[in-house]
């Protein structure tokens, strides 16, 4: 199986920042949904979705280790 080399260009960085922040928004929405949900099976499913998104965020942060967590979350000075 071929392993695709990660694109670490400036354009890729910008696209990953946008995607990372959209994941933050999606995670927040799912957390709200969990707080309103009554059924445990659905809560568990939603929690697994959040875990997967957080793993994706970690992968993205590792691609661009020179950026602080504040920068990823949009809190730059």
Residue 76 pLDDT: 59
Average pLDDT over residues 52-77: 88
Annotated domain spans of the chain: 10-72
12 to each of 18, 40, 46, how far by Cα in Å?
A: 10, 38, 29
Res. 77: pLDDT tops 60: no
* Sign, CA torsion 8/12/13/16: negative
Question: Where is pLDDT greater, at 41 or 7?
Answer: 41
What one-character DSSP code corresponds to residue 68? -
**For residues 26 and 31, what is the distance between their CA atoms, to the nearest angstrom?**
9
Residue 69 pLDDT: 85
Band (pLDDT 50/70/90 cuts) for residue 54 is very high
Band (pLDDT 50/70/90 cuts) for residue 66 is very high
């Amino acid at each position: 199986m071929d392993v695709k080399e990660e694109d670490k260009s400036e354009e890729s960085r910008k696209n990953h920042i946008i995607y990372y922040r959209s994941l933050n928004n999606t995670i927040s929405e799912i957390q709200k949904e969990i707080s309103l949900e009554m059924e445990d099976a659905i809560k568990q499913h939603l929690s697994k979705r959040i875990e997967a998104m957080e793993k994706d965020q970690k992968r993205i942060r590792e691609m661009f280790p020179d950026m602080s967590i504040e920068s990823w979350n949009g809190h730059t000075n």
